[in-house]
């Protein structure tokens, strides 16, 4: 298992090993022991699985506020997606900055997104599945969102002349300016 830091401290790119032959491959997609050895001690309590039928589907930028904040370990089960984390921890030296990586069935990569970061993704292929682990249970009363296309955040989505497909909720999410984050950087 390869574990690489990203430009945002705490957000980590993980690439599990794959062992293949003429039949296909085998991969240990999650190992608490191996992550612990790499310094990642997150305990996950819920798995989520989402299918987006159309290329260009955008979901996010979402978060759950304390006391039900979630770390997420995100991977692509089928297809390909551009996965994004935005630092929303007040006082953080990287507050408002983002990082994005392509996760696909082919590359097997995963992105660990700690609590205190908003999360979103855009599908790069039709019928893309995202599978992710969460460190706390879904608590709708703590849900929050930011506008995926907010120019203040400035995410460079790989739209390539694609009109994004959004839920009404995501299309109407608030902008970052004036956002009173429920998260504070702990230094």
> Distance from first CA to last CA of the chain, Å, rounded?
28
Is residue 170 within 8 A of residue 145, CB to CB? The reply is yes
119 has catalytic annotation: no
22 has catalytic annotation: no
| Catalytically annotated residue among 30, 119, 132, 138 | 132
| Catalytically annotated residue among 62, 68, 95, 119 | 62
**Which residues are catalytic, by number?**
62, 132
């Amino acid at each position: 298992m390869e574990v690489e830091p990203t430009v945002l401290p705490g957000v980590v790119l993980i690439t599990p090993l794959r062992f293949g032959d003429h039949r296909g491959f085998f991969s240990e997609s999650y190992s608490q022991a191996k992550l612990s050895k790499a310094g990642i001690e997150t305990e996950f309590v819920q798995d989520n699985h989402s299918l987006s039928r159309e290329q260009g589907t955008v979901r996010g930028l979402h978060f759950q506020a304390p006391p039900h904040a979630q770390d997420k370990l995100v991977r692509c089960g089928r297809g390909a997606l551009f996965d994004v984390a935005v630092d929303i921890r007040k006082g953080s030296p990287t507050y408002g900055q983002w990082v994005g990586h392509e996760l696909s069935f082919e590359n097997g990569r995963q992105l660990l997104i700690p609590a205190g970061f908003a999360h979103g993704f855009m599908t790069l292929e039709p019928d893309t599945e995202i599978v992710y682990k969460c460190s706390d249970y879904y608590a709708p009363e703590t849900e929050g969102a930011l506008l995926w296309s907010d120019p203040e955040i400035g995410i460079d989505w790989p739209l390539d002349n694609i009109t994004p497909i959004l839920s009404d909720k995501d299309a109407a999410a608030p902008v970052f300016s004036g956002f009173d984050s429920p998260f504070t950087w702990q230094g």
